[in-house]
């Protein structure tokens, strides 16, 4: 056994400590917690979770919910049979259920004076850079307004090939996209066990997982095993996405009335530690595009702003070259052509050309719409250190 990967000893309060420090928290809620075929929508449970969300927000945290339940709710209201249904039936169910789901969250959060916003995503919205920037910017703005985004997969328009398919992975992608500190999966089990605790009395709970090794993956079972019906295999897939993106992940029991309060009071959970800081992970992601698609040259004022961690505004740009789209990676160089930074373009090259040296108040008359103030947002800029710069010069 890899002793470094599993930490059986120092678990006490690890998940709680992490939650206390976290600034941005994503909480994933599965259909089984929200909907019971016999008793319907679990509004009391939702009220408990909404109170937990309010407590987190009072502590200054930003909260994003990833909530399943649209298909379960829609199936019920359309009177669809139990058992397997076809994709188009699921989509019809989701279209019906999603309205109810969004409304239910709105109502659960309202007593705490918290507004909810519905965000429906398909995989390409998190993976394609242009769409990623749009989704991230919108959610960022909602969080600035104190709103709780409630995210689900856009089930109605996705096909089998392009589905996330499960909200564990969707939640991990959202947490990565938003550079969250922690993703909490509310489950029907209080964490990872070395074998299925429902079948083995001697199953050992694993409180802290520092590395998702093959041994850990085996504990989750394969996608088809009975243990996986509890979803542990997809939870481990989510853990891999999250932790390699700088997001720690917690699996805890969501079946109590206020599961996050329970976590704060030391309820048992499994914590998957993050491999690196979210900001480092985002820089890696920005630089993971193999090639830059263009270059902008900037004036000395913009160089200073960039070094001070600010965004790049078109006003500071003197030259645009190459053919790039919004979301493509571009070089940002000084007047001598020395590449100082790389970043994701906020505008395609045609518009960037038109905006050279212009102030944002004039953008609308030039490109026909108000647009964004930044050519490259500060979150999407990676300053090159000496070594990286040299490498770029040589290549």
Task: Give the footprint of ligand GLU on this chain (CB under 6 A).
Answer: 30-31, 68-72, 94, 152-153, 155, 166-167
Residue (15 or 66) nearer to ligand GLU, CB: 66
CB of 322 to ligand GLU, least distance (A): 39
Distance from first CA to last CA of the chain, Å, rounded?
43
- Which tokens sit at 181? 């500190």
Q: CA-to-CA distance for 292 and 322, rounded, in angstroms?
A: 9
Residue (62 or 167) nearer to ligand GLU, CB: 167
CB of 227 to ligand GLU, least distance (A): 17
Q: CA-to-CA distance for 248 and 151, rounded, in angstroms?
A: 19
Residue (221 or 314) nearer to ligand GLU, CB: 221
Q: CA-to-CA distance for 230 and 189, rounded, in angstroms?
A: 8
Residue (118 or 321) nearer to ligand GLU, CB: 118
Q: CA-to-CA distance for 283 and 278, rounded, in angstroms?
A: 9
CB of 72 to ligand GLU, least distance (A): 6
Burial track 132-162 (b if 16+ CB lie within 10 A, e otherwise): bbebbbebbebbeeebbbbbbbbbbebeeee
CB of 88 to ligand GLU, least distance (A): 15
CB of 244 to ligand GLU, least distance (A): 21
Instruction: Centre a 10 Å sphere on the Cβ of residue 361 and count the other Cβ atoms it contains.
Output: 9
C-alpha distance from residue 284 to each of 44, 255, 326, 343, 380 (Å): 42, 37, 19, 11, 11
CB of 290 to ligand GLU, least distance (A): 32
Taking every pair of Cα atoms in the chain, the longest distance, rounded to a whole number of angstroms, is: 70
């Amino acid at each position: 056994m890899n002793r470094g990967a599993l930490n059986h000893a120092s678990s006490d309060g690890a998940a709680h400590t992490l939650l206390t420090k976290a600034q941005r928290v994503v909480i994933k809620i599965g259909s089984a917690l929200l909907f019971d075929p016999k008793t319907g929508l679990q509004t009391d449970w939702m009220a408990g979770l909404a109170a937990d969300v309010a407590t987190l927000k009072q502590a200054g945290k930003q909260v994003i919910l990833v909530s399943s339940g649209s298909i379960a709710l829609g199936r019920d209201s359309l009177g669809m049979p139990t058992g397997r249904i076809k994709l188009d039936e699921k989509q019809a169910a989701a279209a019906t259920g999603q309205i109810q789901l969004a409304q239910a969250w709105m109502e659960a959060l309202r007593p705490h004076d918290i507004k909810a916003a519905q965000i429906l995503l398909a995989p390409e919205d998190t993976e394609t850079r242009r769409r990623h920037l749009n989704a991230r910017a919108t959610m960022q703005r909602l969080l600035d307004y104190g709103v709780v985004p409630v995210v689900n997969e856009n089930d109605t328009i996705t096909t089998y090939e392009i589905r996330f398919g499960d909200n564990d992975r969707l939640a991990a992608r959202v947490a990565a996209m938003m550079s969250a500190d922690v993703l909490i999966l509310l489950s029907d089990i209080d964490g990872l066990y070395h074998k299925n605790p429902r079948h083995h009395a001697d199953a050992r709970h694993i409180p802290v997982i520092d590395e998702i090794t093959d041994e850990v993956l085996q504990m989750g079972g394969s996608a088809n095993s009975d243990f996986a019906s509890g979803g542990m295999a997809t939870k481990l897939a989510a853990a891999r996405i999250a932790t390699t993106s700088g997001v720690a992940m917690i699996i805890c029991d969501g079946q109590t009335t206020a599961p996050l309060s329970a976590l704060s009071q030391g309820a048992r959970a499994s914590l998957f530690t993050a491999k690196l800081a979210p900001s480092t992970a985002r820089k890696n992601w920005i630089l993971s595009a193999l090639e830059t698609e263009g270059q902008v040259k900037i004036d000395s004022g913009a160089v200073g702003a960039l070094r001070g961690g600010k965004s790049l505004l078109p006003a500071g740009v003197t030259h645009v070259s190459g053919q790039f789209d919004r979301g493509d990676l571009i070089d940002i160089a000084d007047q001598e052509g020395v590449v100082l930074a790389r970043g994701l373009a906020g505008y395609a090259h045609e518009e960037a050309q038109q905006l050279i040296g212009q102030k944002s108040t004039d953008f609308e008359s030039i490109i026909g719409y108000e647009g964004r103030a930044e050519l490259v947002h500060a979150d999407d800029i990676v300053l090159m250190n000496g070594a990286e710069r040299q490498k770029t010069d040589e290549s």
